[in-house]
């Protein structure tokens, strides 16, 4: 038979083990996919398709927005920009994607004097705010969006853009 002190102790153990007062909820930090990692993925995807590229090539899109694209594929009308908060501040307002489009592709041109005669390019904007993941999940707190998920999503978007270009944009 349990003594009163044992009953009280067992009562507290049951409460503590069954969802009694616990510490504050663990905050899971979110962050966008870092530009360095995104650039590495983009390079890998371009190389898989046999493309070569230049970096930091000046291009211009509608509205007079001029910037150095992260990538300009040689001998193709492809430019790619991975947008970070710094880029958005520096570049200002970028025209939106076409209504209903999942990918943000705008027609632009290379800027004269940097790559010869200005030429038409399809600029694929990849917004880091769409590639946010939980960076510090623990065994107690599962991440809703993992690094692997945003890595996979960027690869899919790159593949979709390159397939679109190869099937439609070269015309």
- 128, 83 contact by CB (below 8 A): yes
108 within some domain: yes
Q: From first to last of the 171 residues of the chain, give the pLDDT tens digit.
A: 556 555 555 545 455 555 555 555 556 678 899 999 999 999 999 999 999 999 999 999 988 899 999 999 999 999 999 999 999 999 988 999 888 899 999 999 998 665 556 689 999 999 999 999 887 666 565 667 888 899 999 999 999 999 999 998 665
- 29, 134 contact by CB (below 8 A): yes
77 within some domain: yes
55 within some domain: yes
23 within some domain: no
**What six digits make up the tokens of 107?**
């027609």
Predicted structure pTM score: 0.78
pLDDT of residue 60: 94
The tally of domains found in the chain comes to 1
19 within some domain: no
24 within some domain: no
99 within some domain: yes
- What domain range includes position 106? 29-169
Please state, in angstroms and as integers, the Cα–Cα distance from residue 86 to each residue in 65, 89, 98, 102, following that order. 15, 5, 24, 23
11 within some domain: no
pLDDT of residue 104: 96
Beta strands in 37-77 (DSSP E): 53-54, 57-61, 65-69, 71-73
**What six digits make up the tokens of 64?**
């007079």
pLDDT of residue 168: 87
């Amino acid at each position: 038979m349990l003594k009163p002190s044992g009953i009280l102790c067992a009562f507290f153990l049951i409460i503590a083990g069954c969802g009694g007062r616990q510490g504050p909820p663990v905050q899971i930090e979110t962050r966008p996919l870092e530009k360095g990692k995104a650039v590495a993925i983009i390079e890998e995807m371009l190389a898989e398709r046999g493309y070569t590229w230049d970096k930091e090539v000046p291009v211009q899109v509608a509205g007079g927005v001029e910037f150095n694209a992260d990538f300009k594929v040689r001998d193709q009308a492809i430019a790619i920009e991975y947008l970070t908060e710094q880029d958005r501040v520096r570049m200002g307002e970028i025209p939106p994607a076409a209504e209903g489009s999942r990918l943000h592709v705008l027609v632009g041109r290379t800027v004269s004097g940097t790559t010869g005669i200005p030429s038409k390019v399809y600029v694929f904007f990849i917004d880091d705010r769409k590639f946010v993941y939980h960076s510090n999940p623990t065994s107690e707190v599962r991440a809703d969006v993992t690094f692997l998920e945003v890595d996979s999503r960027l690869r899919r978007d790159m593949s979709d853009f390159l397939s679109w270009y190869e099937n439609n944009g070269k015309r």
